[in-house]
A and B are shown apart, each in its own frame.
Chain A
Amino acid sequence: MKQVVQARLQRYWDIRAAGNFSFGGTGSGLVLAAALALALGVASPWAVAVGLGFIGLGLFCVWLEIGKPWRAINVLFHPHTSWMTREALLVPPLMAAGAAAVLIDIRFVYLAALFAAGFMYCQARMLLASRGIPAWCQKEIVPLILATALAEGAGAFLVAGGRPQALIVVALVAGILREIARVLYRKGLVAAKLPAATLKWMASREEKGLTALRGLSLACLALALAGVAPTALAIAGGSLAVLAGWGLKAVIIVRAAFTRGQVISHTPTRGRGPTAIVIPS
Chain B
Amino acid sequence: MSKAATGTAGETKSVPTLCYNCVAGPDFMRVVVEDGVATRVEPNHTAADIHPGRGRPCVRAYGLIQKTYNPHRVLQPMKRTNPKKGRDEYPGFVPISWDEALDTIAARMNEIRAKGLLDEAGLPRVAASFGHGGTPRSYMGSFPAFMASWGPIDFSFGSGQGVKCTHSEHLYGEYWHRAFTVSPDTVLTRFIVSFGSNYEVTGGVCAVRRHADARIRGVKRVQIEPHMSATAACSAEWVPIKPKTDAAFMMAMIHVMLHEVPRGSLDLPFLRDRTSSPYLVGPNGYYLRDADSGKPLVWDENSGRAVAHDTPGIRPALEGNFTVPVAVSHLADQEVMRHENAAARPAFVATVEDMKKYSPEWASEICGVPPAVIRRVANEYVENACVGQTIEIEGRTLPFRPVAVLLGKTVNNGWGAFECCWSRTVLATLVGALEVPGGTLGTTVRLNKGHDNRLVSVVPGEDGFMVSSLNPTSTADWKAKPTGRNAHRTLVPIVGNSAWSQALGPAHLPWLFMEKSPEEWPKQRAPELWITFRTNPAVAFWDADKLTRAIARMPFVVAIAYTFDETNHMADILLPDAADLESTQVVPIGGTKFVEQFWEHQGVALRQKAVEPMGEARDFTWISTELARRTGLIEKYNAAINRGAIGSSLKGANYDFSLPTDQVHDADTIWDAVCKASTAALTDGKEVKDLAWMKENGYFVVPFKRADWYLYPSLADQNLRFELPYQERLMRVGEELKRRLHSQNIHWWDEQLSEYQALPEWHDVPGRWVKAVKAQGLNPDDYPLWGITTKTMIYSAGNNSGVPLMHEVGQNIRGHGGIIMNANTAARLGIEQDDWIEVRSIVDTTRGHAVLVQGCQPDTIVIPGQHEHWKTPFAKDLNFPSLNTVTQMSMELTDATGSGADVVRVSVRKVDGPKERRSA
Contacts and interface: CB of A to CB of B under 8 A. Distances in A.
A/B: CB atoms within 8 Å of each other:
yes
Nearest to A4: B854
B209 interface: no
Interface stretch (B160-168, B230-238, B601-609, B761-769): B230-238
B215 interface: yes
Contacts of B235: 270-271, 273
A272 B234 CA distance: 11
Contacts, number: 26
Interface string A258-281: 000000000001111110000000
B140 interface: no
A270 B215 CA distance: 6
Nearest to A272: B220
Nearest to A274: B236
A273 B237 CA distance: 6
A271 B221 CA distance: 7
Interface size class of B (residues with CB under 8 A): 10 to 19
A269 B219 CA distance: 11
Interface size class of A (residues with CB under 8 A): under 10
A91 B221 CA distance: 64
Nearest to B192: A271
Nearest to B219: A271
B784 interface: no
A59 to B, nearest CB: 36
Contacts of B236: 269-274
B218 A270 contact: no
B514 interface: no
A232 B220 CA distance: 76
Nearest to B216: A271
A272 B191 CA distance: 9
B214 interface: yes
Nearest to B232: A270
A272 B217 CA distance: 9
What is the predominant secondary structure among interface residues of chain A facing chain B? loop
Nearest to B234: A270
A269 B217 CA distance: 11
Contacts of A269: 215, 236
A189 B219 CA distance: 43
Nearest to A273: B236
Contacts of B217: 271
B220 to A, nearest CB: 4
Contacts of A274: 236
Nearest to A2: B854
- In this complex, the member of A271, A272, A273 whose beta carbon has the largest number of chain B beta carbons within 10 angstroms is A271
A270 B233 CA distance: 8
A264 to B, nearest CB: 13
A275 to B, nearest CB: 11
Interface in B234-253: 234-237
Nearest to B854: A4
B130 to A, nearest CB: 37
B185 to A, nearest CB: 15
A215 to B, nearest CB: 32
Contacts of B234: 270
A2 to B, nearest CB: 10
Contacts of B219: 271-272
A208 to B, nearest CB: 21
Nearest to B236: A273
A196 B630 CA distance: 70
B216 to A, nearest CB: 8
Contacts of B237: 273
B230 to A, nearest CB: 11
A269 B212 CA distance: 11
Contacts of B215: 269-271
A9 to B, nearest CB: 14
B457 to A, nearest CB: 33
Contacts of B214: 271
Contacts of B233: 270
Contacts of B218: 271-272
Interface in A85-101: none
B377 to A, nearest CB: 13
A161 to B, nearest CB: 50
Interface in B190-244: 214-215, 217-221, 233-237
Contacts of A271: 214-215, 217-221, 235-236
A8 to B, nearest CB: 13
- In this complex, the member of A269, A270, A273, A274 whose beta carbon has the largest number of chain B beta carbons within 10 angstroms is A270
B194 to A, nearest CB: 12
A274 B220 CA distance: 10
B56 to A, nearest CB: 21
A78 to B, nearest CB: 34
Nearest to B191: A272
A274 B237 CA distance: 8
B186 to A, nearest CB: 11
Nearest to B221: A271
A133 B233 CA distance: 30
A270 B234 CA distance: 6
Contacts of A273: 220, 235-237
A272 B189 CA distance: 13
Interface string B125-144: 00000000000000000000
A271 B214 CA distance: 7
- In this complex, the member of B215, B233, B235 whose beta carbon has the largest number of chain A beta carbons within 10 angstroms is B215
18 contacts: A269-B236, A270-B215, A270-B233, A270-B234, A270-B235, A270-B236, A271-B215, A271-B219, A271-B220, A271-B221, A271-B235, A272-B219, A272-B220, A272-B236, A273-B220, A273-B236, A273-B237, A274-B236
Given A270-B235, A271-B215, A272-B220, 7 more contacts: A270-B233, A271-B217, A272-B218, A273-B220, A273-B235, A273-B237, A274-B236
Which 9 A-B residue pairs are closest in the complex by CB-CB distance? Answer: A273-B236, A272-B220, A271-B215, A271-B219, A271-B236, A271-B220, A270-B234, A272-B236, A270-B236
